[in-house]
């Protein structure tokens, strides 16, 4: 449901059904159901990549048509590795990563550990955007455990 | 973002670290890594830069020949270390000079003052 910039009403104006539907009903519906997407995969993903690559460009990539504003991006997971290493997570927006060289979150792994982030992406322009979860490791390989991982995004303003 | 090219394959069980080791031997530093979906068996080989047809064929052959039961050197080193620690789990009176040397080496490796004897 698309968002319409609310009308500024003037004194004595005759309000039509179309205006009420557009500015009240449709906007309330838009607030109730903002652009959002979530994936909770059941299978485990593993990587040995030492440069940032998509976790899975099909399932861990959300395409949102936004009205313009802030988007909240979240991920929680259980990460595991048999080797002592560093796992880095990041999010790419339309192919451009948000983080620096280490991404937006890193963890030293030697066994398994919970990972969780919520990233407020401010001022995203209106339109179609693709948000992709990215990852890399320092050495060895690491996994995001299936059934214990979720990646989501929702426009919040 | 680094320029990364993916090659995709479908296959059964994969030992990611071993396949990474094998492919590093084929394409060297052009290999950025390997990613696997444990459910579908989809394997993505991440590579830096442009690839020749010959390289693609070599990578495809290495993926096809991959044996998930074989360990990468790093995995073998971790397995050997675990076995050594298990062997040292015995009464102190049973320890030999060799056991004490082994423990000293493990401790020295763990604090980073000597390099591991194998793997990595």
Q: What's the pLDDT tens digit per position in B41-62?
A: 899 999 998 888 888 999 999 9
pLDDT number for residue B2: 60
How many Cα atoms occupy the beta-carbon half-sphere of A148 within 13 Å? 13
Question: Closest Cα to residue B4, out of A44, A136, A76?
Answer: A136
CA distance linking residue B27 with residue B12, whole number of Å: 22
A42 and A92: one domain?
A: yes
pLDDT tens-place string over residues B7-42: 999 988 999 999 999 999 999 999 999 999 988 889
pLDDT band, residue B119 (cuts 50/70/90) = very low
Closest CB from A44, A49, A143 relative to B33: A49
A69 and A125: one domain?
A: yes
pLDDT band, residue A84 (cuts 50/70/90) = confident
pLDDT number for residue B118: 52
Mean pLDDT of chain B: 90
A88 and A131: one domain?
A: yes
A-B Cβ pairs (cutoff 8 Å, strict): 76
Better-predicted residue by pLDDT, A6 or B1: A6
Q: Residue range A62-67: average pLDDT? A: 95
pLDDT number for residue A157: 86
Q: Residue range A54-76: average pLDDT? A: 95
From A142's Cα to the closest Cα of chain B, the distance in A is 9
pLDDT band, residue B1 (cuts 50/70/90) = low
Mean pLDDT of chain A: 95
Return the percentage of chain A with pLDDT > 70, whole number.
Answer: 99
Question: Closest Cα to residue A132, out of B31, B37, B42, B1?
Answer: B1
Closest CB from B2, B16, B39 relative to A42: B39
A98 and A136: one domain?
A: yes
- Are the beta carbons of A51 and B48 separated by less than 8 Å? yes
Alpha helices in B8-115 (DSSP H): 16-27, 53-65, 73-87, 97-110
CATH of the domain at A45: 2.60.120.40
Q: Could you list the residue range(s) of the whole structural domain that residue A81 is in?
A: 36-155
A22 and A49: one domain?
A: no
A66 and A143: one domain?
A: yes
A50 and A113: one domain?
A: yes
Domains of chain B, earliest start first: 4-65 (3.30.1370), 73-110 (no CATH)
Q: Are strands B31-37 and A142-155 parallel, antiparallel or unpaired?
A: unpaired
pLDDT number for residue B114: 83
pLDDT tens-place string over residues A91-100: 999 999 999 9
pLDDT tens-place string over residues A2-43: 889 999 999 999 999 999 999 999 999 999 999 999 999 999
A40 touches chain B (CB under 8 A): no
pLDDT band, residue A136 (cuts 50/70/90) = very high
pLDDT number for residue B113: 86
Contact partners, residue B72, CB within 8 Å, separation at least 6: B15, B17, B18, B20, B21
- Are the beta carbons of A56 and B20 separated by less than 8 Å? no
Q: For chain A, how many structural domains are there in total? A: 2
pLDDT number for residue A19: 95
ipTM: 0.84
Q: Which of A41, A42, A53, A134 would best serve as a mutation to test chain B binding (most B beta carbons within 10 A)? A: A53
A40 and A25: one domain?
A: no
């Amino acid at each position: 449901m698309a968002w319409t910039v609310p009308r500024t009403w003037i004194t004595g104006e005759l309000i039509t059904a179309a205006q009420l539907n557009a500015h009240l009903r449709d906007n309330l519906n838009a607030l109730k159901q903002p652009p959002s997407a979530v994936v909770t995969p059941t299978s485990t993903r593993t990587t040995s990549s030492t440069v940032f690559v998509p976790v899975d460009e099909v399932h861990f990539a959300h395409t949102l048509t936004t009205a313009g504003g802030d988007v909240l991006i979240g991920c929680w997971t259980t990460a595991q590795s048999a080797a002592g290493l560093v796992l880095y997570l990041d999010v790419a927006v339309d192919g451009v990563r948000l983080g620096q060289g280490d991404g937006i979150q890193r963890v030293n792994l030697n066994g398994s550990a919970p990972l969780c982030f919520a990233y407020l992406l401010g001022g995203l322009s209106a339109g179609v955007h693709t948000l992709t979860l990215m990852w890399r490791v320092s050495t060895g390989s690491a996994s995001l455990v299936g059934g214990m991982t979720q990646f989501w995004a929702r426009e919040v303003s | 973002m680094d320029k990364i090219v993916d090659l995709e394959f479908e296959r059964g069980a994969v030992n990611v670290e071993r396949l990474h080791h094998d492919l590093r031997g084929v394409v060297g530093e052009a290999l950025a890594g390997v990613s696997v979906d444990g459910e579908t068996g989809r394997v993505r080989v991440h590579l830096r830069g442009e690839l020749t047809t010959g390289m693609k064929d070599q990578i495809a052959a290495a993926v096809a020949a991959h044996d998930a039961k074989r360990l990468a050197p790093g995995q073998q080193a971790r397995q050997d270390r675990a076995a050594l620690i298990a062997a040292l789990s015995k009464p102190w009176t049973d320890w030999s000079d060799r056991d004490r040397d082994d423990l000293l080496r493990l401790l020295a490796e763990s604090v980073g003052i000597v390099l591991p004897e194998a793997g990595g």
